[in-house]
Structure 1
């Protein structure tokens, strides 16, 4: 059984709307997972899970939802909304994620969550924020799973070019809207917003899933973060999804469910102290 708490307000930044999260709690959660939605930092909501299906997005309220299915595996899932780039520039989004994490650390008992183990998960822009949160938060994080994440804003456009995509170098691009200018115009802000430049010794283990045909956020982005983590002695596994583009629209339900379950079990293993087993259980580093 999964208990759902909807529209839990966790913060109200001065001058902005209240920010809320939805919380999905199994009977005996092993860990609390902070989940961050994608959408290029411009669109999306806490109702959006990693449910694509065969070429057509699913309804976020399909039963059981992505969040309920993950909760049934043992993770309490907090799907967090954050300020979009049309509302605020970076680092507002990261500050919102940190606020949500602290709110949950203080109030988890109110929602029947007794464990203090924390993990994080996100896709695309949400994968970027999950990675950055795992590397910079003041709270302990046991592991992070990132699906097709942006990890290096400085190198992103060159990676898109190399992958055969169409890089947007304008001030209207998703990255420029996040930063308030292009990465070339604000290189220090772009570095500060890039997980590869936040890597540190003692970072939690990462599982990065990425399609090998992704030209929107190329596979090289996941490898950049994995290489940086390994350079400081960290655990990082890149799982390449053959033939998949951004958000995995090519996958059928069975393949998608397999990736969801492997991702959840990676987080569960790390949260219970099986970091090595978590990494080994998902293949050799790619």
Structure 2
């Protein structure tokens, strides 16, 4: 056992995004711009919401926390990916790798719960507008936010603790641009069957629960909208819920493919593309989707710009 332990790897090599060398500088600049837009867009949205008392309602509290999670997620993944594209820092220690995965797992799970909470909020606001102030108080909103964080933390702890039962002695080449659990399981010397089972049970359950919450909520919302006769009300409801539904569809699609489909060693490149989508692309799209189609946010932005000028 001692001889075997001496062979265990203490660091991994990230293969990063597989591309031709001449494309690396261009990809670096593209993802650098995306990252800067993500930080500015999400932190700007948080600042806007917290500086305007009119936006201190559950819908925008959820939105500000979604922006915070997107900033956290992107900052966990993108800087390391940018260094890798410049052929710097491709080596990552095992502790650093575990910390990165833990951070990503918290963010991804929290975002699932936040999107479900936002869908329920829209259901309560559109289907029961008279009872909405009673059903969705700021206290209820804060409880849902706390549960989202606790759920994300516990989910990450479960997978993180099971990763420590694995050993890595054959290869330290991680076919990914960040430390994700599936690539780690593929290079493990220890039988990862238990890890795959736990991923399927817990990740699958969380995704099914949150997707069903979103689907049921928006089904009731759609029925309620179709019953309305006001064209203005229809446009407003469709605009708000349409933006939410687009964000949900773009986020959950890649996640379902990544963590619920059967494991395969032949889809590394495809896995990287899907991971890139929900860790880098979605965080920059969310503030655009939720802001440009929201009159209150735009009015608040105009007001803040006037005050600044």
- TM-score scaled by length of structure 2: 0.26
Which is strand-richer, 1 or 2? 1
More helix by share: 2
TM-score, normalised by the number of residues in structure 1? 0.28
